[in-house]
Structure 1
């Protein structure tokens, strides 16, 4: 069987707040949670697990999600309605904009724990 992506743990300041943020933006389903994890489920069985580690500082990570055009429109409207800072580029030099790279659209923003998120409508490859 070829390898497929199954799950990852996303370090959070508040696991429930982060899970709710991702669930809203990604339109993800809730998943059973256990122990130190609050879980959500993406398409094809990919689970995102949110946990609060015993550390003072969280190292920023980058997570990119491929969505269709309609989902992008809804997610972008949600970000704007919540006044979530966003940029057209990962260097954050084009605030309040989206990009049109790779024949689609994209946007960068931060989650509640300070991780860099990206939504794109066309894959890079």
Structure 2
């Protein structure tokens, strides 16, 4: 693989971030520096860590960044749950974002396992 942009998991993470940005456009303006910012940062971090890890010189480093990406994904899910529980994120959109997150989590785990087998 020549580029992280060819990775399906990275492409899906980018799409998730875009959907999160769109969802937070409807959040109260008073949350711009609160939950909105945290959710957007966590969403962008998932794809960013995949890309950064791919650029490292070793498979072990790549795996470490994929694990960091998993952590960002769990942080994102936590912010989504909070947003849903306080009424800022309605059920259909919440479930769509959580489903996308679950799928990315599965892809990350599969990629990590695949890379570990090559070590």
TM-score (norm 1): 0.33
Instruction: State the structure with bigger RCO (CA 8 A, min sep 6), 1 or 2.
Output: 2
Per residue, is there more strand in 1 or in 2? 1
Structure with greater proportional helix content: 2
Q: TM-score, normalised by structure 2?
A: 0.34
